[in-house]
Structure 1
Amino acid sequence: MKRKFFGTDGIRGLTNTEPMTAQTALRIGQAAGRHFLRGDHRHRVVIGKDTRLSGYMMESALVAGFTSVGMDVVMVGPMPTPAVAMLTTSMRADLGVMISASHNPFDDNGIKLFGPDGYKLSDKDEAAIERRLGEDAKLAKPDLIGRAKRIDDARGRYVHHAKATFPERLRLDGLKVVIDCANGAAYHVAPDALWELGADVIPLGVGPDGTNINDDCGSTKPLLLQETVVASGADVGLALDGDADRIVVVDEKGQIVDGDQMMALIALDYQKRERLKGSVVATVMSNLGLERRLEASGIGLLRTQVGDRYVLEAMREQGCNVGGEQSGHIILSDYSTTGDGLVAGLQVLAALVDSGKPASEVLRQFEPLPQLLKNVRFSGGEPLENDGVKQRIAAAERELEGKGRLLIRKSGTEPLIRVMAEGDDEALVERVVDDICAAVQSAA
């Protein structure tokens, strides 16, 4: 079955354009609610959202959909995606919903669904919900219509959860931390958690107005964070994205630290404390320098296709507790069932405090190899099946053998061929990427 609604991370699109309309949100609530009406207990769904203007509309439509099929709704307001996953399990809910388009602009929105175990839904569950979207909804009898309730203490519950992941023997006293919340879901929880642990907090992106989420702030646009860290003499800076499942760190010099460096730091810290389980799991995009750094310490690296859901699947299958993406989705399965920017940031700060050294010395665990990614647009056909392209790729692989690696993949959403190479020789990396791109363009 070809999926019409669900992508790699839930349902997402431009607000008031299908599928991000109130009408479709209501139907999604009905379909997902019916799918999770299992057993004879009173059923419950937890709904959270980020700070987009359209969140009110989507929340109301989803509440109508869920209650109409007999499911009770608990609304927690603006909360990070990992908080919704955590609350779904702690409240014994049958389903969790996060209304967010993550790092996208405010005029987009999305719907992410979590099962009763707090994990994102499987392909099987998403396919079942899609089938129900094509059917007439089976509505509850009048006396069985669900009830809706808004709870006010969800914020405190998540702050407590996040703080509990920070080692009890440590405090953040004397550490000046800049935190950029992207005017998003973590604006009222991340600064509080840091302050309660003793940090001197300088908050950014904590004035959401419905339209300024991710607007020149947050993990995808960290320039303001970099400037503020340097200007204020802060020890470190943290930047979250709109739904706070992603993080970027900045050292005291204003230099960006990506997810690869964070995974190395956390994994090595866990290894030292005998807490690391299995290998680290990352995607095919993670730098070869990460792999070499971990290998030098006897830690394996498992690679998956791009997407945090694939990282998590591999972590669950292999029993690993550290994984993530170069972009800053860090999954620490001892604490979370999904990426959690604040929890990952606290692990980074714990390692920093424990070392007693400046962030610029601690956060750079390896020297990244030169890495180059280029996209080639094509008009039709299958350029990767062209003999000339195949020959050029094979030649590049021979040139990089033992000195780097090559990754060629077709985009799943656009007519693009993505060509990535990395290696010790920057000039060689640039040349093989350009040669393959030229071959693809000729074939297209």
Structure 2
Amino acid sequence: MTRTLFGTDGVRGRANVHPMTAEVALKLGQAAGRRFRRGPHRHRVVIGKDTRLSGYMLEQAMTAGFLSVGVDVFLLGPIPTPGVGMLTKSLRADAGVMISASHNPYQDNGIKLFGPDGFKLSDEQEAEIEGMVEAEPVLEDAENLGRAKRIDDGLGRYIEAAKATFPRDLRLDGLKVVVDCANGAAYRTAPTVLWELGAEVIEVGVSPNGRNINDRVGSTAPMTCRETVLAHGADLGLALDGDADRLILVDERGEVVDGDQIMCLIAERWMRDGVLKGGALVATVMSNLGLERRLASQGVQLLRTRVGDRYVVEEMRRGGYNLGGEQSGHIVMSDHATTGDGLLAGLQVLAALVEDGSRASEACARFEPLPQVLKNVRYAAGQAPLEAAPVQAAIAAGEARLNGAGRVLIRKSGTEPLIRVMAEGEDPLLVEAVVDDICAAVSAAAQAA
């Protein structure tokens, strides 16, 4: 069964515009509630969200949907996405929901679904639920309706779980850490965890108002974190995104550190300590060739998947690996969490600084990345510019120009009407030219359609 409602990371779009409407959210609640009914016990689902204004609307609509099919709802309020995965398992729930559009602006929102194991759903499961959304719902009798309950200590449970991933014999005393919470889901949890572990914490992006999530703060706007690190002479800056499942770092010199460098640091340390399962890191096709070469020199294999942390996790589970992630900052450590967790990844980096007595600029510069250029071309709904002959010719020409010393990656965004054009290689000018030529061809095809 094909999917049209779900993208690469759940359902996403502009709030109050299809599919991000109360009507669709209600139907999703009804469908997911029916899909995850299992056995004779009383069924339950946990719902978390970030700090977007539209989260109230979608939370209430989904709650109504679940209740109408006899499923109890536990409301967590604003909480990081990994907290939803954790509490879905901890509360023995039949499903979990995170209402968030991650790093997108507040006008957007999204719905991510988790199974009873706390992991995001597979393509097949999402397609099944999508089919149920289109069908007439089977509603419960009045005496069998679900009940809603707010879980007041959900943040506290997540905070304790996060702290438990940090070595018990270490403290963060003497370290000055900037944490940028993007005015999002981690605005309470991340500063609390760092402070309780002993760090001097400088908070950024911890005043959400429903409209300022990811607004010039967070992992997609790390310059605010950078400026704060430099202004306060901090040892490290942690920039999270709106739902706190990704991390970008800023070292003490103000250099921005992406997910590839973070994964490399963790993989090398885990390999050294004998805890990197399978001797491999799972990443996506977007990760830099420099990462692959560095890991190979350390005896670590790099396994690549299609773009999306969900696909990284699926490969990790299939092969029994415990570390994976994306260049964009999703770092998945399956010994500790079922999805990417920016705070937990940051704690791993901080543990390395404490244990080795090193500066962030030393610990996080693991390899020299090859020049890589990524540009986006927007197109109108219903268009298929990648299928145009001139676009295919431009792609083939770009690959030929790189002549085996680099690579070209072209893909459609799973969340927006964008074509993402990426190339990398030894010659930065050549890489830039290849990307520009392909983008021009895609843009021309989109305008001609």
TM-score, structure 1 normalization: 0.94
Q: By how many angstroms is 1:253 displaced? A: 1.1
Q: Distance in 1 between matches of 2:18 and 2:443?
A: 33
Name the structure 1 match of 2:428: 426
Is the counterpart of residue 368 in structure 1 residue 369 in structure 2?
yes
One-letter amino acid of the structure 2 residue matched with residue 159 of structure 1: I
Name the structure 2 match of 1:307: 308
Name the structure 2 match of 1:196: 196
SS in 1 for 2:159: helix
One-letter amino acid of the structure 2 residue matched with residue 253 of structure 1: R
Q: By how many angstroms is 1:367 displaced? A: 1.0
Structure 2: gaps of 5 or more residues: none
Name the structure 2 match of 1:255: 255
Selected match of 1:407 from 393, 406, 409: 409
Structure-to-structure mapping, 1:3-402, within 5 angstroms = 3-278=3-278, 279-375=280-376, 386=389, 393-394=395-396, 396-402=398-404
Is the Cα–Cα contact under 8 Å of residues 175 and 235 in structure 1 kept in the other structure?
A: yes
SS in 2 for 1:133: helix
SS in 1 for 2:127: helix
**CA-to-partner distance for each residue in 1:346-393, whole Å, 9 max, x for gaps?**
11111121121111111110111111234456786665563x765664
Is the Cα–Cα contact under 8 Å of residues 8 and 415 in structure 2 kept in the other structure?
A: no
Q: Distance in 2 between matches of 1:111 and 1:438?
A: 34
Q: Distance in 2 between matches of 1:375 and 1:107?
A: 20
Is the Cα–Cα contact under 8 Å of residues 384 and 440 in structure 1 kept in the other structure?
A: no
Is the Cα–Cα contact under 8 Å of residues 285 and 306 in structure 1 kept in the other structure?
A: yes
Q: By how many angstroms is 1:317 displaced? A: 1.4
Q: Distance in 2 between matches of 1:192 and 1:182?
A: 15
Cα distance change on mapping 1:198 and 1:383 into 2, 3 Å: closer
The percent identity for this pair of structures is 67
Cα distance change on mapping 1:250 and 1:39 into 2, 3 Å: same
Q: Distance in 2 between matches of 1:258 and 1:24?
A: 35
One-letter amino acid of the structure 2 residue matched with residue 125 of structure 1: Q
Q: Distance in 2 between matches of 1:53 and 1:389?
A: 40
Q: Distance in 1 between matches of 2:391 and 2:78?
A: 48
Q: By how many angstroms is 1:59 displaced? A: 1.4
**CA-to-partner distance for each residue in 1:383-419, whole Å, 9 max, x for gaps?**
5563x76566455445534532222345566776543
Cα distance change on mapping 1:56 and 1:256 into 2, 3 Å: same
Q: Distance in 2 between matches of 1:384 and 1:327?
A: 27
Q: Distance in 2 between matches of 1:303 and 1:214?
A: 29
SS in 2 for 1:109: strand
Cα distance change on mapping 1:384 and 1:26 into 2, 3 Å: closer
Is the Cα–Cα contact under 8 Å of residues 182 and 218 in structure 1 kept in the other structure?
A: yes
Cα distance change on mapping 1:148 and 1:313 into 2, 3 Å: same
Cα distance change on mapping 1:381 and 1:330 into 2, 3 Å: closer
Structure 1: gaps of 5 or more residues: none
Size of the aligned set, in residue pairs, is: 443
**CA-to-partner distance for each residue in 1:314-335, whole Å, 9 max, x for gaps?**
1111221111111111111111
**CA-to-partner distance for each residue in 1:161-212, whole Å, 9 max, x for gaps?**
1111111221111110000111111111110111111111111111111111
Q: Distance in 2 between matches of 1:129 and 1:414?
A: 21
Q: Distance in 1 between matches of 2:87 and 2:416?
A: 35
Q: What is the RMSD computed on CA atoms of the aligned residues?
A: 2.1
SS in 2 for 1:421: strand
One-letter amino acid of the structure 2 residue matched with residue 357 of structure 1: S
SS in 2 for 1:104: coil
